[in-house]
């Protein structure tokens, strides 16, 4: 019999897969970045869920590192887009 933890795990796996598919198949670089950020968010949710299930603080620390790195990725992407637009004009 399935319990609520199984449903949460399957839902998070589907969300993670959808984000990776958008990152791989996205027609534009903006779609790819959105897919990567969504995958990162889903990955952090998986790590938080694992941390709660296993009572492991180390996994929680890893999730927090990914949360800190996500805005840095976004800023780096925006800087590269801005840099490419300035040189193409």
Answer whether 49's CB lies under 8 Å from 9's CB.
yes
Which tens digits make up the pLDDT trace of 37-64? 899 899 999 999 989 888 999 999 999 9
Please, which pLDDT band fits residue 14 given cuts at 50, 70 and 90?
Answer: very high
State the Rg of the chain over Cα: 16
Burial category of 72 from C-beta neighbours within 10 Å (exposed 0-12, middle 13-18, buried 19 and up): exposed
In the chain, where are the structural domains located?
A: 4-88
Q: What angle do CA 54, 2, 44 make, to 5 degrees?
A: 40
Per-residue confidence (pLDDT) for residue 16, from 0 to 100: 92
Per-residue confidence (pLDDT) for residue 81, from 0 to 100: 81
The DSSP 8-state label assigned to residue 56 in this structure reads -
Entry pTM: 0.79
């Amino acid at each position: 019999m399935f319990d609520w933890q199984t449903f949460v795990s399957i839902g998070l796996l589907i969300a993670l897969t959808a984000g990776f598919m958008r990152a791989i198949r996205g027609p534009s670089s903006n779609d790819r970045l959105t897919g990567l950020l969504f995958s990162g968010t889903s990955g952090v949710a998986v790590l938080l869920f694992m941390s709660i299930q296993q009572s492991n603080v180390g996994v929680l620390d890893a999730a927090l590192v990914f949360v800190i790195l996500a805005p840095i990725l976004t800023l780096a992407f925006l800087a590269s887009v801005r840099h490419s637009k300035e040189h193409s004009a």
